[in-house]
Amino acid sequence: MTADGRAEIDPRQFRNVLGQFCTGITVITTLDGDQAPIGFACQSFAALSLEPPLVLFCPTKASRSWAAIEKSGRFGVNVLAEEQRELCARFGSREPDKFADAAWHTSDLGLPLLDDALATIQCTVDSVVDGGDHYIVIGRVQTMSETTASGRPLLFYRGQYTAIEPEKTTPAPWRADLEHFLTTTTLDTWL
């Protein structure tokens, strides 16, 4: 127990329990003060709002990439494909030049984007909230695109990479009740 009577949370158990939640993997990018590309692998990315279009990601407070994003005020989100495990590992490392062997280009908005990403989202920093040992960065979407290839996303589950089953290459059919759930906002909406 802590001094205020709360149960202590074991960090290893915390990671194991949260590892039960499967996430996609992105690479968040920007240009640093010298206009060099910088980025990091990020699985704490999510859609936040349709109106206005907002997304969020959560960098650690000590992140060099976050410092560059904060200074530039803008960032790119690159949704990785399952074939990009090595690229993900590189962007998740402390490698000084993570873009060295990566195919990338500078977008019209001046952001470094990975050529083979399933989708890219370009944002400006809208707000930042303290989140313990991380920040919660809310980005306002400026533009986005998706690949024309029918690739599948790189996923992370129980501490390792995983993928969608090989025969499950097409998403389930869209349902009207799901559309209603995702887009309806009323006083009693819990989402």
**pLDDT tens-digit readout, 121-161:** 999 999 999 999 999 999 999 999 998 666 889 998 888 88
Sign of CA dihedral 119, 121, 122, 125: negative
151 in Cβ contact with 163 (< 8 Å): no
Give the three-class secondary structure for 31: strand
Spatial distance between the Cα atoms of 120 and 36, rounded to a whole number of angstroms = 19
Q: What average pLDDT does the segment 155-176 reach?
A: 72
Q: Which two tokens stand for residue 164?
A: 């969608």
Confidence of residue 177 (pLDDT cuts 50, 70, 90): low
Q: What average pLDDT does the segment 32-52 reach?
A: 95
Instruction: Please list, in sequence order, all residues whose beta carbon lies within 8 angstroms of the beta carbon of residue 108, skipping any fewer than 6 positions away.
Output: 143
* pLDDT in the model for residue 16: 84
Spatial distance between the Cα atoms of 22 and 75, rounded to a whole number of angstroms = 24
Confidence of residue 174 (pLDDT cuts 50, 70, 90): low
Q: Which two tokens stand for residue 73?
A: 């005020």
Q: What average pLDDT does the segment 84-113 reach?
A: 93
The DSSP code for 93 is S
Instruction: Please state, rounded to an integer, the average pLDDT across all residues of the chain.
Output: 87
Spatial distance between the Cα atoms of 146 and 118, rounded to a whole number of angstroms = 6
- The share of the chain scoring above pLDDT 90, in percent, equals 61
CA 28 to centroid of chain Cα atoms = 7
Spatial distance between the Cα atoms of 171 and 15, rounded to a whole number of angstroms = 29
Give the three-class secondary structure for 180: helix
53 in Cβ contact with 141 (< 8 Å): yes
56-73 pLDDT tens trace: 999 999 999 999 999 999
* pLDDT in the model for residue 191: 46
Confidence of residue 12 (pLDDT cuts 50, 70, 90): confident
Q: What average pLDDT does the segment 91-105 reach?
A: 92
Instruction: Please list, in sequence order, all residues whose beta carbon lies within 8 angstroms of the beta carbon of residue 77, skipping any fewer than 6 positions away.
Output: 26, 27, 28, 45, 55, 57, 120, 121, 122, 123, 139
* pLDDT in the model for residue 144: 96
Locus of tokens 């949260």: 18
